[in-house]
Amino acid sequence: MTWPTSSKAGTTNVDAGNDLIRLARPDIKQNIDNTNAIIDTFGITSPSNNDILKYNSATTKFENVAGGVSNDTIAIEVADLASGSAGVSYDYTGGFTITGRNDLGIVAGTDLDSGGDNFSTLTIPAGTYSMKTISPVYSGVYGGNQYWDARITFIKDSDDNAIGNYETNSTGFYFRVHEAGFVFTLPSQDTIYATFRAYRSAGGNFAVQPLLLTRLA
């Protein structure tokens, strides 16, 4: 792709009534070349309402494609966590499922850790994001000595540093409402994975609320 940013024509020979056209010929030719370069940069065919221009490296042109309102928030479904030993963390392998329109370009996948587990991952472009539960999380006790202690920690694959966590616990005969959320920044595209700890005295599974991932900047 060539955009004529450094080949603008001069006006020395066209800014006065007595200028000679023959002297302006190089500038006129340069303007024709610049106009043709701009035309050749675009491949617009029969545009429709809400189309947007998108660069295509295969044709080296900006082309019109179906557009619409950009969506900077996606919903991520997280599988239920199986109750395990108190205080013991596990790789999350239940899968992340992205629902709805995904203009952020987030990719859900898996990776293989040193123990041979295919742990679940999210590959996220550079930027600042917030992640929070789509609705409040309830935990508590109902009959007997049952309680939840659940924690999901999200970690950057590039340096194994935690970027935030989702946590809830109750230890008495009452219910608590928790709203999990945190903000994180990725200087460059990175893959994140999760570890979890889910414990209930009577066993069972902990239902994880869907998460909302929003790009802030």
Provide the CATH number for the domain around residue 179: 2.60.120.40
Percent of the chain at pLDDT exceeding 90:
40
pLDDT level of residue 178 (50, 70, 90 thresholds): low
Region 160-167: what's the mean pLDDT?
Answer: 91
- Phi and psi at residue 52, to the nearest 5°: -125, 160
**35 within a domain of the structure (yes/no):** no
Question: Residue 50 pLDDT more than 90?
Answer: no
pLDDT attached to residue 128: 94
Residue-wise pLDDT for 78-127, tens only, equals 999 888 888 899 999 999 999 988 888 899 999 876 666 689 999 999 99
Nearest to 64 by CA among 49, 85, 80, 86: 49
**45 within a domain of the structure (yes/no):** no
**180 within a domain of the structure (yes/no):** yes
Other beta carbons within 10 Å of 18: 4
Region 162-173: what's the mean pLDDT?
Answer: 77
Region 2-19: what's the mean pLDDT?
Answer: 85
pLDDT level of residue 19 (50, 70, 90 thresholds): confident
Measured between alpha carbons, how far is 139 from 146 in angstroms, rounded to an integer? 10
**78 within a domain of the structure (yes/no):** yes
Region 59-63: what's the mean pLDDT?
Answer: 87
Say how many domains are in the chain.
Answer: 1
Q: Which residues contact 25 (CB under 8 A, 6 or more apart)?
A: none
**5 within a domain of the structure (yes/no):** no
pLDDT level of residue 170 (50, 70, 90 thresholds): low
Residue-number span of the structural domain to which 124 is assigned:
73-215
**138 within a domain of the structure (yes/no):** yes
Question: Residue 206 pLDDT more than 60?
Answer: yes
Taking only Cα atoms into account, the Rg of the chain, rounded to an integer number of angstroms, comes to 28
pLDDT attached to residue 187: 94
